[in-house]
Amino acid sequence: MLPICVVNNYGQFNHLIHRALRDLDIEVALVPNTTPKEEIAAGYRGIILGGGPSIERAGTCTEYLDLGLPVLGICLGLHIIAKKFGGDVHPGKSGGYGSIEVSISHHDDILAGYPEKIPVWASHADEVSRIPEGFTLLASSGICEVEAIACPQKKIYGLQWHPEVSHTLDGKKVYENFNAICNDW
């Protein structure tokens, strides 16, 4: 079975994403965001777009969204997805990292098994301000309307928060759910 790749967008938690999947015995590789799309298409069964400091440093990530593989975007990865498909991203009012409570409105496949409210760790320096057409809002919070989105038909998902850190309730479940999505694709 092919591995899942974690695309390194120079964020401080990309190595933790990689480690979280390894700890779940999920075959995974950490790759630079300049990896040619042909290499991604041929070598992986799913893509996790990691976080990072700015969308300007996202390399060739938008090209990976056209490969037909399942995609999970974390923080900056969510922003890349939103912009690529016609959504908008703007600076957040709450700024840097912190703990927040997220309300889950749709328990689709990526958020299956979670309660209606969960504590998470997120940065809100930038946020999605308009969801792309064809995407569904999955979760929101008191400080951010768009905490999670999905386009189930394309198997593309995005989260504002970081499941890989200990501050997020049962974050490994997101990665287990994504692995199952990749297995079924």
Active site residue 18: no
- Please confirm, yes or no, whether 107 is among the known catalytic residues: no
Out of 18, 79, 124, 162, the active site residue is: 162
Q: Two tokens at 181?
A: 């999505």
- Active-site annotation holder among 61, 75, 144, 151: 75
Global pTM reads 0.97
Domain that holds residue 54: 4-184
Query: So what's the pLDDT on residue 35?
Result: 98
Per-residue pLDDT of the chain (185 residues; tens, 9 = 90+): 999 999 999 988 999 999 999 999 999 999 999 999 999 999 999 999 999 999 999 999 999 999 999 999 999 999 999 999 999 999 998 877 889 999 999 998 999 999 999 999 999 999 999 999 999 999 999 999 999 999 999 999 999 999 999 989 899 999 999 999 999 88
Task: CATH number of the domain at 157, please.
Answer: 3.40.50.880
Catalytic residue from among 5, 151, 164, 182: 164
Name the domain count of the chain.
1
- Tokens 């479940």 sit on residue: 173
Q: 102-112: string of b/e by CB count within 10 Å (b at 16+)?
A: bebeeeebbbe
Between CA 21 and CA 27 the distance in angstroms is 7
Is 99 in contact with 167 (CB distance < 8 Å)?
yes
Q: In the chain, how long is the greatest CA-to-CA distance?
A: 43
Question: Does residue 145 carry a catalytic annotation?
Answer: no
